Structure 1
Amino acid sequence: MSARPFRFGVNMAICESRAKWQDKARRAESLGYDVIQVPDHLGLPAPFPALAAAAEVTTTARLGTYVLNAGFYRPALLAREVATTDLLVDGRLELGLGTGYVKEEFDAAGLPFPSAGERVDHLTHTVSELRRLFADHQPPPVQQPGPPIMIAGTGPRVLRFAAEHADIVGIAGALPIDDNDTGHAALAKKMDLVRAAAASRETEPELNLLVQGVFTDASTADLTFQRQLAPGLSDERIRKLPGILSGSPSAIADTVREYRETYGLTYFSVVEFSMDTFAEVIALLR
């Protein structure tokens, strides 16, 4: 796959007030982030109004969902949300979609929790229907034929579908294949699958990696959040995972460059608590 320019996103999830939220959005843009993103989990801000509020105080940053739980939505209703939001943010929306994976959230929403295969089926149906609906939606989205779509996940079926149909393929994580793997063999396997599935496309998809932690001092890093994502792994093994970046800003910048050269990854999204730390790295990569 050809090399693209770097892009950097920050996934913001804490909303205490309108003023604080908008201050944080301004700051993200000033720190060099290309995309302000919002996750989709119960107990966190609703993505579309949060992105519209961020758009009011930013000018260049794009606004993205990272990622919507497709199982919470029906295509016609989602198309209305997406088209209207794209209109209100002046065509800066990026739509990130995933299958949804937290059973407790489906239970809390009063929705059945489908099997993994059924959730992938619903995701693929949703993407197909959205593109059909955008063609003559009223009001129409600013971006035609619709906002760019990211599909993010970890399993082979989702990644294959993303490579074949999405504008952006999101790699949500890579856990070790075996006791000898740091997670990089698992990541290489995912990227091989994506390359093969995208080989016949006229336009290559952009490749994104979710960065779940950025630490300039690994010895004092708080890995509480990362342990939830990689249960059973020691702290030492967690620090070596592809979605964890450790070292000086210049060393991390070298790692990001290596990811681009080795895997074709050019779009990196960090979680909110890494926003300031990773901004130092962004400055070295521009």
Structure 2
Amino acid sequence: MTAFAFQAVPQNATEWLETARTAEANGFDTLLTPDHPGQCAAPHVALAAAAAVTTTIKLGAYVVNAGVREPMLLAADVATLDVVSGGRALLGIGAGHNPAEWESVGQTRPDVRGRVDRCIAVAEATRRLLAGEEVTVDTPALTMTGARLEKPRPVQAKVPLLFGGGNSRLLRWAAEEADVIGLSGLGRTRPDGRNHEVRWRLDQIDEHVEPLRGKVLEALVQQFEVTDDAEAALEEMADDVGLGVDELRQVPFILVGTIEEIAAQIREHERRWGITRYALRRTALDHLPALIKALA
């Protein structure tokens, strides 16, 4: 069965709490918010507020930058969210990509290998802390001595791990360790440090997903639009990414068309790649009930 997460950024208290209520009522099973220190709200603070006005929707960051987060502080944030939500937290983690996020805390962004090493080390240490273990690590990527998260203890026996990223080594690790693997189809970071090249050719997606067969895969949707004229809606993007409109309509990171056409795309994505989850944004909020009905 296809499931949907909703990714949003808090703007003010009234809007954020109403968004959380609406997302839950409309059938989203998870509420996600990004983590870009200095550029958006602190994710676990915002999600704790959302927990107070919801009852069933799961809550998590999509995704924390492991390069600038320490496992003990991250574990405490996630455990606290799990407590105040009655056991609905997840641990969302990635390697980070924006150099400004390192510079803002007085660090230099590591090379790819360094970011991967750090992401794996932080994820594994945080999971062990959430599980109640004592953690000692002494590596170039992470140093901890006798760390233990005594309080608060999470409600869940095992807090689910959501990994988001595209590095091949991290994906191999996530295939063994993560409960959900978030796919964005994004490639190399561009010189501005924020935007990315895309890997949206169908053969690239085939290659990317092949080692992940049988895992829970979630596509981060970059454009969601309900329209009777998908071709017109996609023409400009097709030029930007160097793909034809017909190919772009098959990409799991783009859902554009009528509700029935989008439902058909989702069925094809599951058949071809095994994708069973989607992370959607604001433009999808009010359309999900109709989409769920079309998929039934």
Q: TM class by shorter-chain length?
A: 0.7 to 0.9
Equivalent position of 2:174 in the other structure: 162
Q: Map residues 135-150 of structure 1 onto 2, 5 A cutoff.
A: 135-136=131-132, 137=149, 138-144=151-157, 146-150=158-162
C-alpha distance in 2, partners of 1:170/1:283?
A: 24
Instruction: Answer yes or no: is the 8 Å Cα contact 1:174–1:186 preserved in 2.
Output: no
Going from structure 1 to structure 2, the CA distance change for 1:279 and 1:119 (only over 3 Å counts) comes to farther
- Check whether the contact 2:20–2:53 (CA below 8 A) recurs between aligned residues: yes
Give the SS at the match of 1:215: strand
The letter for the 2-side match of 1:29 is E
- What residue is the counterpart of 2:165 in the other structure? 153
2:254 to 244, 250, 253: 244
Which secondary structure does the structure 2 equivalent of 1:71 belong to?
helix
**Does the Cα contact within 8 Å between 2:90 and 2:162 map onto a contact in 1?**
yes
Residue identity opposite 2:27 in structure 1:
G
8 A Cα contact 1:152 1:158, kept in partner: no
CA distance in 2, matches of 1:266, 1:75: 30
Tell whether the 8 Å contact from 2:6 to 2:28 is kept in structure 1 after alignment: yes
For the pair 1:186 / 2:204, whether they are aligned, the reply is yes
Percent same amino acid at aligned positions? 34
Q: Where do residues 106-255 of structure 1 align in structure 2 (5 Å cutoff)?
A: 106-136=102-132, 137=149, 138-144=151-157, 146-173=158-185, 183-195=201-213, 205-217=215-227, 218-219=230-231, 221=233, 233=242, 236=245, 241-255=251-265
Shift of 1:79: 1.1
Structure 2: distance between partners of 1:271 and 1:109 = 29
Higher strand share: 2
Q: Which amino acid aligns with 1:183?
A: R
SS of the aligned residue for 1:261 comes to: helix
The Cα offsets for residues 25-78 of structure 1, whole Å up to 9 and x where unpaired, read as 111111111111111113211100111111111111111211111112111121
Query: TM-score, structure 2 length as denominator?
Result: 0.81
Query: How many Å separate the matches in 1 of 2:200 and 2:33?
Result: 29
Deviation at 1:16, TM superposition (A): 2.6
**Residues 251-260 or 132-141, more deviating:** 132-141
Matching residue's letter, 2:99? K
Q: 1:106 to 1:126 in 2, by over 3 A?
A: same
Distance 1:274 1:223, change over 3 A: farther
- Give the letter aligned to residue 140 of structure 1: R
Find the aligned partners of 1:238 and 1:108 in 2 and give their Cα distance.
Answer: 37
Q: Does 1:66 align with 2:62?
A: yes
**Is the contact between residue 11 and residue 271 of structure 1 (CA under 8 Å) also seen in structure 2?**
yes
Deviation at 1:103, TM superposition (A): 1.3
Give the structure 2 partner of residue 35 of structure 1.
30
Contact 1:212/1:243 (<8 A) preserved: yes
Structure 1 residues 280 and 129 mapped into 2: Cα distance closer, same or farther (>3 Å)? same
Aligned to 2:76: 80
Question: Partners of 2:235 and 2:74 in 1: how far apart?
Answer: 35
What is the alpha-carbon distance in structure 2 between the residues aligned to residue 243 and residue 80 of structure 1? 33
Residue from 283, 288, 293 that aligns with 1:283? 293
Match of 1:55 in 2: 51
CA distance in structure 2 between the partners assigned to 1:209 and 1:275 by the alignment = 16
How many aligned positions are there? 264
Moved over 4 A (4+): 234-240
Deviation at 1:246, TM superposition (A): 1.6
Matching residue's letter, 1:172: S
Aligned mates of 2:179, 2:241 — CA distance in 1: 34
